Structure 1
Amino acid sequence: MKPRITVIVVALIILPTAVMTLLTARALLDWEEVLNRATENAAGRAVETAADRLHSELSRELRTVRDAMASALERGGSYAPIEEAAARIEGSGSLAARAYLFMNPEGFVYPPGGPQASSNSQPAQIAAALRRAISRQGSGAAARFACSDESFLFAAIPEHGPVFAGYMVNRDRFRDRLAAILSEVSSGGVFVFAEGPGLRLGPRRPDLPAAVEISDSFDTRGQPASAAAGGTGPQVLAVGRLYPPFDSVQLKAVVADPESLRRAGRMRARLFGWGVVLCAFAMIGGLVLAWRETAEDIRRARARADVVAGVSHDLRTPLAAMRALADALLMGHVADPARQKQFLQTIVRECERLEQLIERVLYLIRFGQDSLAFAMRPVNPATIIESAVRSYASSVGAASGPDAGGVEPVVMECPANLPAVMCDERAIGQVIFNLVDNAWKYTPRDRNGAGPAVKVFADVVERRVHAGFLRRAGRWVRIRVEDRGIGMTSVQKRRIFRRFYRAEEARAMNVSGLGLGLAFCRQVVRQHGGRMEVRSR
C-alpha cells in the first residue's frame, strides 16, 4: 500500500509543485523586461487618453455652438436671435471665446464685421483658411484649422445648406482644461506633458518630482546621455499629438524616476518569489503532515488488529487450562480429594484471571473511545495496592516467597495508616496492576539478581501544586513501582505514554502487549487530578 501512495503523491503533488516553482522562477527572471513593457504601455495609454478627452470636449463644444446657431436661424432673419445665442455661448465659461456663422463661399454672416472684432487675424485670412479646410475635408465634416495665433472649429448646419457654425477657442480656458486632463491621466510615476508653439504644460500634481521641469525641452537630443539611454534621469516613454487644430502640440509621457520603478519591480518580484516558495513549502508541509497522519492511521489499524489477536490469545489460555482441569474432574481421572480441591482452586484462580483480563480489556476499550467513567469514593490506598498486588501474584502464579525461577515475587511496602483518597477503586487498582505487570515483564529472570523483581511503595509527600495562577502546598499520596528492568533511553521516556507505542526491545524480548497500558494509566491518573512520572537509570 505504501509504495502505491508514494507514487500517487509524487505524481499528483510533488511533480506539479516542482514544475510550477520552476516556471514561476523562469518568469520572474524576466521581471524587468515585463515591467518596462507594462510601463511603456501605460504611458502610451495615458497619451492617447489625454488627446482623446480633449478632442471629445472640443467636439462637444462645437455641437453645442452649431445647435444654438441653428436654433437662432430658425427664429427669423434678424441678428437679434443670433446675437443672443452667441452672447449666451460666450458667457457660459466654455472653451468658445467667440461664436461665428459662415456662408460658403460668400463669407462671414455673423458677426457682421467678421472676426476682426475679436481677433488679430485678418478676416480675409480666416475666411480663406476656412474655405481650404472645407474643400479639403468636405462640407459634411467638421473644419478644424489654426490661423495665426488662434484656433477655430466649424461644422455645417444641415438644414441651412452651405451655412457653417463655429467658434474660436479661448486660449486661457484651453490651457486650464489641458492641464487638468494632464493631471488626471498622470499616475503611477508616469507624467504626461504638452509642448507646442507658445505652449508648455505639465500636470498640476503635488507628487511631481523636482527632476522634471515643465520648461525643459522634451527632445532627447537636449537631455543628458544617461537620461536618453535609460539612466536615472527622466525618460520619455511615449509620444503623441493632439487632434487638429492643435496638432502642433506634442504630448510626451515621462517617467521621472526609472530607478524607483525598478525598485518597485524588484520588490514585487521578491514578493511573488517568496509567495511561490512559501506555497511550495506549505504544499510539501501539508503533504508531510498528511503522510504522517496516514502512516499513523495505518499503524493504529494494525495495532487494533494486534489488540484483537492479543486478546484472543490471552482469553484462550485460561479457558484452555480450565477446560483441561474440568474435563479431568468430569471424567473421574482424579480420585484424590486433595488433588480435586487443588484442581478446583486452580479453576477458580483461572476464572479470576479471566475476569481481570476481561475487565482490563473493557477499560482499554473505553479508554480508546475516550469514554472512561469513574465512581469516586473515599478509599484507603493501601487496600487498593494490596488487592492489585495479590491479584497480579495470583495471575502469574507467584507466591509470597521466591518463584520457581529464583526471582523473588512482587512485594509491597506501604503503611496501613495512609490517608483516604477520593478515587475509583477499580480504575486505580487497574492502574497499579498494569504498572506491576509492565515492570515484571521487562525484568530479566536472573537467578543471581539481588532482591525482589518488583517493589511497590506508598507514602505521603508534601508538594506545591498550581491552583490557577497561585501555587499552594498540599499532601499527596505517592505510589512508586520499582523494578530491575532493562532501562529506557531518553527518547523512549518521551514516547512511552503514547498510544500503541512499543519499544524495539519489547519485540526483541518477545514481550506481549498492545502499547496501551501506560497511556491508559496516565489518562486515569490525570483524570483523578494526579500526575505520573517515569525515571530510569
Structure 2
Amino acid sequence: MAETSELIEFRRAFVWLLCGMLLPSVALVAFGVVAVANERAAVERRLAEDYDARVRALGLDLLARLDKSAEAVAAGKPDPLVLTVQPLGKPPAELADAARRAATLPIGGHVFATAEMGSERRALALVRADDHRTLIAQFDVAAVAELVPRLAEARFPRERAAFRLFPPREPVAALAALRRIVAEAGQTATVVSRVGLGPPLEGFALAAELPGDPAAPLAFRNRTLYIALLVLLYLGIGVGFGLTIREMRRAYKLSRMKTDFVANISHELRTPLTGVRLFAETLRAGRAEGPEEVRQCVAMLSTEADRLSRMVEKLLDWSRLEAGRTSLELERTEVPALLDRIGQAYRAQQLPASYQTELDPQLPPVNVDRDAMAQVVLNLLHNAVKYTGEDKRIRVRARRAGRNVAIEVEDNGPGVRPHERKRIFERFYRADDLLSRQTEGTGLGLAIAKKIVELHGGRIELDSRVGQGSTFRVLLPAA
C-alpha cells in the first residue's frame, strides 16, 4: 500500500513537472515567433523611413528638371523630355482650371497638369508664351522614367538602391511599355519606399528598390539568434528535466529502499532482542539447571548482545559518514602490518571460516587510518563469509596495481548478477533474491566500505561471475 502511494506521488510529481516545463516552453515559442515577425516588420519600417526621405528629395530634383523643360518650351528650345508642343486652343474640361491659372501667369510662366486624353494619361505643362498665346507641352513619360536613375546617381552616389518611376496602377495603353520595363527590372528587387507624385506626374510614383529581400539579413540574424537561444534553452530544459527525473527516480528508489530497510532492520533487531529476552527470562526464572547451563545462557546473551551492538554500531558509523563527522587519522602503514591487524580482529570475532593471505613482495606503504581500513576489509570478509556456502574458500590478496596498492577479498559464493553490480554499493541495497533474504544484515556494510575508501582517496571495485564467486578490490594510493 505504501509503495503504491509512493508511486502515485512520483507520477503526480512527474505530471506537474512536465506541465510546469511544457506550458511555459510553448508560450515562449509562440512569443518568439511573434517577436521575430514583429522584428521583421520593424526592420521594414526602418528601411521605409530611411528611403522615404531620399525618394522625396529625388522627387524635388525631378520636379526641378521638369521646370527646366517647361522653361525651354517657353524659350522655344527643344528638350529631350518634351514629346510635343502645340498652341492651346479650347481646353478640355480636365484642363480648364489649369488653363485659367496659366492665363494669369507672367510670360514664360507655366503650370503643370495631368489629363486623361482618350486612353492615355498625359503629363502636361501649360506655358504662357506671350500675352495672347498659351502653349501645351506633353512630356515623354518614358524619357522621364529613364532620367530618374541618372538623377538618383547624381544625388546619391554609391547608393545600392535603385530608384524608378512607377506608372499608375490602372492599365493605360500608352504606359504599357513603361509598366513592362519596370516589371522586368523589379523581378529580383523589393520596393522599400514608394512616394506618390503630383502634377504633371499625378498618379505616378517614385520608388526605391533594393536587390533581393533587404529585411532578410537583419531578420535572419535575429531569427538565428532567437533559434540559437531557443535551442540552448531547450537543451538546458532537457538536461534539467532529465536530471530532475533521474533525481526523482533515485529519490523514489531510495524511499523504497528505506522502507525495506526499516522492515529489515526491525526484523534483524527483533531477532537478537528476542534471544536476549529469552535467555534473561530463563536465568530469572531459575530454569537453568546447573552451572553449565547458566554459562551457556550467559554466553548466548553475550553473543546476541554483540550481534545487536554490531548492528547499532554500523548504523552509527553510516550516520557519522553521511554527516561528515568522521575524521581520519592517516598514518604511513606497511600493508603486511595492516593485514596482520585485520587478521587479529577477524580471529577475535570467531567467524565460522578462515581465509588465505597472498602478499606480493616489496609492497609500498599506504597512508591510511588503520582502524577505518581494518573495518573496510572486515566488512568485505563478513560479506564473503555470509554469502558463501559450506565449502568456504576465501582469499585476501595484496598486490601492486600501477600507482596504487590493491587489497582483494575473493570468495567462491554465488556471485552478483550483472544488473545488481552497479547498485551493490548503494546504501540500504541488498540483492533481491532468496539467498539475501535468508542472511542477516542492514544493507550498509558495502556502502560504509565504499565511503571510507573514497575518504582515503581510493576506490572500490567488484569483479563477479554468477555461480563462481566475487572479488572485491580496494585500491589505495601508494605513499
User: Scaled by the length of structure 2, what TM-score is found?
Assistant: 0.60
| Residue number among 249, 253, 259 corresponding to 1:295 in the alignment | 249
Q: Which amino acid is the alignment partner of residue 192 of structure 2?
A: L
Give the Å deviation of 1:383. Answer: 3.3
Q: Which residue of 2 aligns with 1:423?
A: 368
1:15 and 1:364 mapped to 2: Cα distance? 43
Q: CA 1:292–1:330 in structure 2 vs 1: closer, same or farther (change >3 Å)?
A: same
Q: Which amino acid is the alignment partner of residue 240 of structure 1?
A: V
Q: Which residue of 2 aligns with 1:94?
A: none
**SS where residue 252 of structure 1 aligns?**
strand
Give the Å deviation of 1:283. Answer: 2.5
Q: CA 1:9–1:227 in structure 2 vs 1: closer, same or farther (change >3 Å)?
A: farther
**SS where residue 325 of structure 2 aligns?**
coil
Q: CA 1:239–1:424 in structure 2 vs 1: closer, same or farther (change >3 Å)?
A: closer
1:238 paired with 2:193, answer yes
1:46 paired with 2:54, answer no
C-alpha contact (below 8 Å) 1:488/1:536 kept by paired residues: yes
Q: CA 1:495–1:433 in structure 2 vs 1: closer, same or farther (change >3 Å)?
A: same
Does 520-529 or 44-53 show the bigger shift? 44-53
Q: CA 1:535–1:242 in structure 2 vs 1: closer, same or farther (change >3 Å)?
A: same
1:62-116: CA deviation from partner (whole Å, max 9, x where unpaired): xxxxxxxxxxxxxxxxxxxxxxxxxxxxxxxxxxxxxxxxxxxxxxxxxxxxxxx
1:511 and 1:369 mapped to 2: Cα distance? 28
| Residue number among 11, 19, 44 corresponding to 1:11 in the alignment | 19
Q: Which residue of 2 aligns with 1:223?
A: 181
Q: Which residue of 2 aligns with 1:482?
A: 410
2:58 and 2:208 mapped to 1: Cα distance? 16
1:328 paired with 2:277, answer no
Q: Which residue of 1 aligns with 2:382?
A: 437
1:429 and 1:225 mapped to 2: Cα distance? 93
| Residue number among 331, 336, 357 corresponding to 1:413 in the alignment | 357
1:194 and 1:341 mapped to 2: Cα distance? 127
Q: Which residue of 2 aligns with 1:523?
A: 451
1:458 and 1:335 mapped to 2: Cα distance? 48
Equivalent residues in 2 for 1:30-179, closer than 5 Å: 35=40, 41-49=45-53, 125=106
Give the Å deviation of 1:239. Answer: 1.9
1:412 and 1:197 mapped to 2: Cα distance? 102
C-alpha contact (below 8 Å) 1:195/1:250 kept by paired residues: no
Give the Å deviation of 1:483. Answer: 1.7
1:467-520: CA deviation from partner (whole Å, max 9, x where unpaired): xxxxxxx7x4x4322222232344543443344444444787555555433232
| Residue number among 450, 463, 479 corresponding to 1:535 in the alignment | 463
Q: CA 1:346–1:264 in structure 2 vs 1: closer, same or farther (change >3 Å)?
A: same
Equivalent residues in 2 for 1:505-524, closer than 5 Å: 505=433, 509=437, 511=439, 513-524=441-452
C-alpha contact (below 8 Å) 1:237/1:254 kept by paired residues: yes
1:362 and 1:418 mapped to 2: Cα distance? 37
Q: Which amino acid is the alignment partner of residue 400 of structure 2?
A: E
Q: Which amino acid is the alignment partner of residue 195 of structure 2?
A: G
Q: Which residue of 2 aligns with 1:339?
A: 293
**SS where residue 413 of structure 1 aligns?**
strand
Q: Which amino acid is the alignment partner of residue 455 of structure 1?
A: I
Q: CA 1:127–1:4 in structure 2 vs 1: closer, same or farther (change >3 Å)?
A: same
Give the Å deviation of 1:455. Answer: 0.9
Structure 1: any 5+ residue segments left out of the alignment? 56-123, 130-146, 149-192, 399-408, 466-473
| Residue number among 440, 458, 462 corresponding to 2:400 in the alignment | 462
1:389 paired with 2:346, answer yes
Q: Which amino acid is the alignment partner of residue 7 of structure 1?
A: V
Q: Which amino acid is the alignment partner of residue 384 of structure 1?
A: R
RMSD: 4.8
**SS where residue 487 of structure 1 aligns?**
coil
1:105-149: CA deviation from partner (whole Å, max 9, x where unpaired): xxxxxxxxxxxxxxxxxxx949999xxxxxxxxxxxxxxxxx99x
1:340 and 1:247 mapped to 2: Cα distance? 128
**SS where residue 536 of structure 1 aligns?**
strand
Equivalent residues in 2 for 1:297-312, closer than 5 Å: 297-312=251-266
Q: Which residue of 2 aligns with 1:254?
A: 209
Give the Å deviation of 1:249. Answer: 11
2:265 and 2:107 mapped to 1: Cα distance? 114
Give the Å deviation of 1:431. Answer: 1.3
C-alpha contact (below 8 Å) 2:453/2:460 kept by paired residues: yes
1:262-315: CA deviation from partner (whole Å, max 9, x where unpaired): 466456545544544553443343223222223323433443454444444333
1:512 and 1:276 mapped to 2: Cα distance? 54
Q: Which amino acid is the alignment partner of residue 357 of structure 1?
A: M
**SS where residue 402 of structure 2 aligns?**
strand
Q: CA 1:13–1:248 in structure 2 vs 1: closer, same or farther (change >3 Å)?
A: closer
1:260 and 1:51 mapped to 2: Cα distance? 17
C-alpha contact (below 8 Å) 1:235/1:258 kept by paired residues: yes
| Residue number among 293, 313, 316 corresponding to 2:267 in the alignment | 313
C-alpha contact (below 8 Å) 2:288/2:294 kept by paired residues: yes
Q: CA 1:388–1:360 in structure 2 vs 1: closer, same or farther (change >3 Å)?
A: farther
C-alpha contact (below 8 Å) 1:195/1:201 kept by paired residues: no
C-alpha contact (below 8 Å) 1:44/1:237 kept by paired residues: yes
Q: Which amino acid is the alignment partner of residue 379 of structure 2?
A: N
Q: CA 1:200–1:260 in structure 2 vs 1: closer, same or farther (change >3 Å)?
A: closer
Q: Which amino acid is the alignment partner of residue 358 of structure 1?
A: V
1:227 and 1:53 mapped to 2: Cα distance? 22
Q: CA 1:197–1:328 in structure 2 vs 1: closer, same or farther (change >3 Å)?
A: closer
2:426 and 2:376 mapped to 1: Cα distance? 16
2:442 and 2:147 mapped to 1: Cα distance? 89
2:157 and 2:382 mapped to 1: Cα distance? 86
C-alpha contact (below 8 Å) 2:380/2:446 kept by paired residues: yes
Q: Which residue of 1 aligns with 2:80?
A: none
1:261 and 1:464 mapped to 2: Cα distance? 64
Q: Which amino acid is the alignment partner of residue 2 of structure 1?
A: F
2:57 and 2:320 mapped to 1: Cα distance? 79
1:227 and 1:249 mapped to 2: Cα distance? 17
Structure 2: any 5+ residue segments left out of the alignment? 1-8, 60-104, 111-125, 128-144, 168-177, 466-479
**SS where residue 270 of structure 2 aligns?**
helix
Q: CA 1:199–1:358 in structure 2 vs 1: closer, same or farther (change >3 Å)?
A: closer
1:327-369: CA deviation from partner (whole Å, max 9, x where unpaired): 2223221132222222222222333333322222211111222
1:126 and 1:289 mapped to 2: Cα distance? 91
